[in-house]
Amino acid sequence: MSHLIQLALAEDIGPGDVTAEYFVPADRKANAFVSIRREGVLSGVNLAADVFRTVDPSLSIEILIPDGSHVSSGALAIHIQGSARSILTAERTALNFLQRLSGVATLTATYVKLIAGTQARILDTRKTTPGFRLLEKQAVLHGGGTNHRIGLYDRAMVKDNHLVAEGGIPNLQQAILRLKAEKPTVEVELEADRLEQVKAFLNLSGVDHILLDNMSLDELRQAVALRADRHHPALEASGGVNLHTVREIALTGVDFISVGALTHSAPALDIGLDFNSL
């Protein structure tokens, strides 16, 4: 992710940090801690440390709490020592990464906790910040969630518009078989918004997942009951998922619940830098 760090630093520093250059003596040393100000789950600690190292390789960096850790307010995640100018120049970019990714991990952990005791797992989506997908999906893992497909290349996900373009169930079956023959490691997921579609899809060969889109709780339970094999194809609920509805959805018996909010609406975790000159 060095390219993202370089890009972030370039847009922030530009031709130079004029505040540090004119208001902080060049020989001033500092001792700083990345401090957690609200309970949550950390993600991006290593990335934040790399930001400081990129700005100044001579800085002494010690990671005190690793990614994936549940933390309380007041915890200290990273210790940095060295040039005060360098620490101050790197501060905002490092915190931007860490706050954003820890926010994703924290929200994911909240959803995961709410469905504890059910067989369902929380999935992310492709609704990620452009360029941040791998980082945000890693943050979902840190929060205890599960990754859906990474992009358009690692799972075929046939939605309503694809179904219209494909031209019906017979053509759909032929397309699935052709994909399985040419790319056997790629899974196939079909989107259904009606129980009639679920019934039709269950009769197809080569279907690995069925997405149950915006179905009611009763429809979700009926879809689960339609499946002869309780484990295949996997059933994924999507639409209308929030912190108030997720447990009831999980209790219907679905295998996965996809939540776009994990990455498109996660609030940043409150994290700061406590700074002392030496």
Active site residue: 191, 219, 236, 255, which one?
A: 191
Place of tokens 């005791």: 117
Active site residue: 21, 113, 159, 248, which one?
A: 159
Active site residue: 127, 180, 221, 247, which one?
A: 127
CA distance 250 to 261: 17
Active site residue: 29, 38, 92, 126, which one?
A: 92
| Residue 24 to residues 21, 57, 171, Cα–Cα distance (Å) | 6, 19, 69
- Determine whether 85 is an active site residue: no
- Determine whether 191 is an active site residue: yes
- Determine whether 127 is an active site residue: yes
Provide the 8-state DSSP code for 269: P
Strand pairing partners for 83? 29
Provide the 8-state DSSP code for 222: H
Pairing of strands 155-158, 121-123: unpaired
Dihedral sign, Cα of residue 162, residue 164, residue 166, residue 168: positive
- Determine whether 221 is an active site residue: no
**Do the Cβ atoms of 101 and 136 come closer than 8 Å?**
yes
Residue 208 exposure: Cα atoms within 13 Å on the Cβ side = 17
Active site residue: 189, 213, 236, 255, which one?
A: 213
**Do the Cβ atoms of 246 and 107 come closer than 8 Å?**
no
Please give the distance of CA 84 from its chain centroid, rounded to a whole number.
33
Residues tagged active-site: 92, 127, 159, 191, 213
